[in-house]
Structure formats: C-alpha cells, structure tokens
Amino acid sequence: MKIIILGNIGSGKTTILKKLNQNIHFDEVIIDEFRIKYGDNSLEGETLAREHFYSVIKENKNQFIECTGVGDVATKLYQQLKEYNEHILLLILLAHKEICLERIENRIWNIPFPFKDELLSSKVARIEKTLSLDAIKREFSQKGNLTIISKKNENPEDENSIIQEVISFINSNK
C-alpha cells in the first residue's frame, strides 16, 4: 500500500508522516531528504535527487511518499504510480497560505533546491492555487484502487483527526 502525502510547503506533510510512522511502520520516501542527500542547488543535483526518489518507490511495498504534489516531481510520480496494481491512499493536506508561511518563518532552510530565487511567499501562493484547482484529484482519478482524503490541517485538532482517520483506513485495508 502507498500513502501519498501531498500539500503546500508548511502544510504539515512531514509532521503527519512522522507521527503516522510511529503507529504504522512503512518506508518513508520524502523528496526533500533526497534533495539533501543528492542535491547541490543545481539543476543536475535536482535531477539526481529526483531520480533516486523515483527509484525507491516500488510496487507492492508499504510506503509513505511525500512531496508537494505539484510540478514535474508530481507529474512523474503520478505516471509511475498509475502502473502499480495496489491500493493508494492520497492524503492532501490543506492549510491557508498565511498559516504555511507562519509555520516556515523560523524554519532553517537547508534543502538544496535550484529555484531558490522565487520568493517563498510567491511559491506558497502558487502551490496553494494549484492545490485549490483540484488538479491532483483529476490526475489521480484515472487510477483504480485509489482513495482520496483531502483535509484541512491548520491546528493540532486537525492533525490528530487526520492521523486517526489514516490509521483507521490502513487498518481496515490490511
């Protein structure tokens, strides 16, 4: 089973993933960890990080997969997962851009990424707009064996509710 966790920068993707993995022990596939390991702020480093990210995503392996869900990384991920004959839970975390920006305000930004010139506020606004267009749902709706959960994640109560819902889903689909 694959649990794909998508959302804006600062929407809580990594936090939710880490808390889920305390209860459900799946492999973690997080794009930013590959950027840290293989990236160097160049296009070549980003390409290498992405290649390694895609290469560890394997059919019939229990995995949490995390990325924003927009752009080239997401498009390639969708194409790869469409070929898999296993159940996928698509968890889309929604948080208003102001909340995302507040969460990342004091974050140490140590992730090598070649497009750092774009202001973070512009990037967050662009990602929020793309997520609100339901493009992700349309892209994935062609995939069989798919469940989509789209939830607001703006406070600790939202986070706890999401974690419980995903754990229940996983346990009922074992």
**Using a CB cutoff of 8 Å and minimum separation of 24, what contacts does 138-145 make?**
139/74, 139/75, 139/78, 140/78, 140/88, 140/90, 142/82, 143/78, 143/81, 143/82, 143/88, 145/85, 145/86, 145/87, 145/88
Cα separation, 46 vs 62, in Å, equals: 25
pTM for the model: 0.90
How long is the chain? 174
Q: Using DSSP, state whether 101 is helix, strand or coil.
A: helix
pLDDT at 116: 64
Block mean pLDDT (10 aa), the chain, length 174: 93 95 94 93 92 96 92 87 89 93 84 71 84 71 79 96 95 86
Q: What are the structure tokens assigned to 120, written together?
A: 């973070």
- Structure-block tokens of residue 82: 């469409």
* Continuous H helices in 22-153: 31-38, 43-55, 71-82, 97-104, 120-132, 135-140
